[in-house]
């Protein structure tokens, strides 16, 4: 344990390091001089380590000086300048170590993203081919007209881009020339290299794109109907993989309530276990979604739909504990934040809900059906089914759009079904 004097000295050193980084940014005199101090302030607000802030400030100032030497205006700064800066040589002609170049490019790319976020320089240019323009319009249609979830938008638009590149290339777009054999051949080529579920996603994406093209008048209904189905049947029904209740409890109990990360992870796991929320729904939750007066939570579901769910007592206590003692101060309004810099809302990657589940299972020594977060959602449905809840009630809590999504749980509780089975005539079991 640190003594009060040691802690005070440590905080003083950190403060001086931050101040030196800010002073370094203030020395900039090139096209970025008006933005570098605010960039450093943002790094400090996002809880970057002082040494990292200082290095990023040093690279930012060097990049500003390099731009000034080449008379590059702020509005013209782009990726090519990041690449050019990475290929420069030291004063005197000495080489720069590869690991140093890599770090410089990373930091300067970070700076460029910041400059674009404050509209100080133009956004990244995209490929302006006719096919890319059509794919971009289709992407906007999925997002703003159909209101699909962001994951679905990305998957479907990727399929559209792949189809357009393979059948049209960089030339002019004339979908009226697309034949049924082109559609079938595309699906066949993709299916040969993909698993059945992934191939089914490609089929759904292509069918969605061709329906959009039909809406535009570019293709006929016969072309849409030509999209073949991919066989995904199996001789054994695929049942949902649910984590055992005792294993879920062990995973939740493995979170250390004495640490900020432990408080956050416990609240996240309880949302999974008690309300069956999807990982994306937890990531999207905002501070304002907690209605403490009425004990309710507002959930942003798939397709931009909202739902209001009751807040169980233990879930509310876990969220409140995280807000009081675990959530770092930040301007970000997401309910759950990263524990390390940059301090922001969690994402569906290495810092997302899936990682929280995976590490909790490891700490608890649980060998679960799989390592994802959806097993808690399945477990809640199975528990409700065994408690006497109807499929309609389960579907309402899980916010299923179709009864077919809930019907899979009718095949889960095999032990209960066996207890209801009548004996075979003649006494044969």
What's the CATH number for 130-225? 1.10.150
Alpha carbon 264 to its chain's center: 17
Cβ atoms of 342 and 45 closer than 8 Å: no
In the block, tokens 């703003």 appear at: 144
Catalytic residue among 18, 48, 138, 409: 409
Question: Alpha-carbon distance 343 to 332, whole Å?
Answer: 8
Element (H, E) at 316: helix 313-325
**For residue 71, pLDDT beyond 80:** yes
Which one is predicted more confidently, 387 or 56? 56
pLDDT band, very low/low/confident/very high, at 238 (cuts 50, 70, 90): low
Question: How far, rounded to the nearest angstrom, does the alpha carbon of residue 250 sit from its chain's CA centroid?
Answer: 26
pLDDT at 287 over 70: yes
State yes or no: is 35 an active-site residue: no
Q: What is the pLDDT of residue 2?
A: 43
The answer to whether residue 278 is catalytic is yes
Structure tokens that stand for 256 in this block:
């250390």
The percentage of residues in the chain with a pLDDT greater than 90, rounded to a whole number, is 44
Look at residue 352 and tell me whether its pLDDT is greater than 90. Answer: no
How do residues 152-209 score in pLDDT, each as one tens digit?
Answer: 888 899 999 999 888 777 667 788 888 999 999 999 888 888 888 888 899 999 999 9
According to CATH, the superfamily of the domain at 245-415 is Intergrase catalytic core (1.10.443.10)
8 Å CB contact between 21 and 54: yes
Q: What is the mean pLDDT of residues 257-279?
A: 94
| Mean pLDDT on 278-304 | 90
Alpha carbon distance 305, 148 (integer Å): 10
- What values do phi and psi take at 245, rounded to 5? -55, -40
Which secondary structure element, helix H or strand E, spans residue 296, and what is its range? Answer: strand 296-300
- Rounded to 5°, the CA angle 33-35-37 comes to 85
Catalytic residue among 161, 266, 338, 400: 400
**350/243 Cα distance (integer angstroms):** 22
- For the chain, give every domain's residue range: 4-117, 130-225, 245-415
Q: Which residue in 155, 247, 334, 374 is the catalytic one?
A: 374
Active-site choice (247, 377, 378, 399): 377
pLDDT reading at 89 higher than 80: no
pLDDT digits (tens, 9 = 90+) for 101-115: 889 999 999 999 999
DSSP structure class, residue 387 = T
User: What is the maximum alpha-carbon separation in the chain?
Assistant: 99
DSSP 3-state of 48: coil
- Out of 105, 110, 302, 344, the active site residue is 302
Residue tagged 């899936």 (tokens) = 354
Which residues touch 399 (CB under 8 Å, ≥6 apart)?
Answer: 299, 301, 302, 305, 307
Q: Are 3 and 75 in contact (CB under 8 A)?
A: no
| 236-241 contact pairs (CB < 8 A, 24+) | 237/411, 239/408, 239/411, 239/412, 240/378, 240/381, 240/382, 240/408, 240/409, 240/412, 241/369, 241/370, 241/375, 241/378
Query: Closest Cα partner for 336 from 253, 347, 144?
Result: 347
Q: What is the pLDDT of residue 374?
A: 86
Active site residue 144: no
Q: Which one of 278, 300, 338, 399 is the catalytic residue? A: 278
Strand order in the sheet with 306-310: 290-291, 296-300, 306-310
Distances (CA, A) of 193 to 115, 184, 186, 202, 231: 40, 15, 12, 12, 14
* Both tokens assigned to 382: 């199975």
257, 266 contact by CB (below 8 A):
yes
Closest by alpha carbon to 62, among 93, 89, 94? 89
Closest CA to 271 of 317, 306, 208: 317
Instruction: Kindly compute the dihedral angle of the four CA atoms of residues 80, 85, 88, 91, in this order, to the nearest 10 degrees.
Output: 150
Residue 206 burial class via C-beta count within 10 angstroms: exposed 0-12, middle 13-18, buried 19 and up: buried
Active site residue 302: yes
In this structure, how many other beta carbons lie within 10 angstroms of the beta carbon of residue 156?
A: 25
């Amino acid at each position: 344990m640190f003594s009060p004097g040691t802690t005070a000295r440590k905080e003083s050193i950190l403060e001086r390091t931050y101040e030196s980084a800010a002073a370094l940014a203030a020395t900039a005199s090139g096209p970025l001089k008006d933005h570098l101090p605010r960039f450093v302030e943002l790094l400090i607000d996002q809880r970057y380590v002082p040494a990292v802030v200082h290095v990023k400030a040093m690279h930012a100032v060097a990049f500003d000086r390099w731009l000034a030497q080449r008379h590059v205006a702020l509005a013209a700064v782009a990726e090519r300048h990041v690449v050019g800066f990475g290929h420069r040589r030291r004063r005197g002609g000495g080489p720069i170590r590869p690991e140093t170049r890599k770090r410089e490019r990373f930091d300067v790319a970070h700076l460029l993203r910041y400059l674009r976020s404050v509209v100080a320089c133009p956004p990244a240019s995209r490929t302006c081919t006719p096919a890319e323009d059509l794919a971009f319009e289709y992407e906007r249609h999925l997002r703003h007209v159909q209101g699909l979830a962001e994951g679905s938008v990305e998957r479907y638009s990727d399929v559209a881009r792949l189809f357009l590149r393979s059948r049209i290339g960089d030339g002019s777009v004339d979908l009226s020339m697309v034949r049924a054999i082109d559609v079938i051949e595309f699906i066949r080529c993709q299916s040969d290299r993909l698993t059945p579920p992934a191939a089914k996603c490609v089929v759904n994406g292509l069918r969605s794109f061709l329906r959009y093209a039909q809406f535009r008048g570019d293709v006929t209904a016969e072309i849409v109907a030509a999209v073949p189905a991919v066989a995904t049947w199996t001789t054994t029904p695929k049942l949902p993989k649910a984590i055992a209740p005792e294993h879920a409890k062990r995973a939740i109990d493995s979170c250390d309530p004495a640490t900020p990360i432990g408080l956050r992870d416990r609240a996240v796991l309880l949302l999974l276990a008690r309300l069956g929320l999807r990982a994306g729904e937890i990531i999207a939750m905002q501070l304002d979604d907690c209605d403490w007066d009425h004990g309710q939570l507002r959930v942003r579901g798939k397709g931009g739909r909202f739902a209001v769910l009751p807040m169980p007592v233990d879930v509310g206590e876990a969220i409140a504990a995280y807000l009081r003692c675990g959530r770092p101060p930040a301007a970000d309004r997401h309910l759950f934040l990263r524990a390390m810099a940059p301090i922001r809302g969690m994402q569906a990657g290495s810092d997302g809900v899936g990682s929280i589940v995976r590490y909790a299972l490891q700490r608890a020594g649980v060998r679960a059906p799989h390592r994802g977060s959806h097993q808690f959602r399945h477990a809640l449905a199975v528990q409700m089914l065994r408690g006497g809840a109807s499929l309609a009630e389960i579907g309402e809590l899980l916010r299923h759009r179709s009864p077919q999504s809930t019907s899979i749980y009718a095949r889960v509780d095999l032990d209960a079904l066996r207890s209801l089975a009548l004996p075979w005539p003649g006494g044969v079991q």
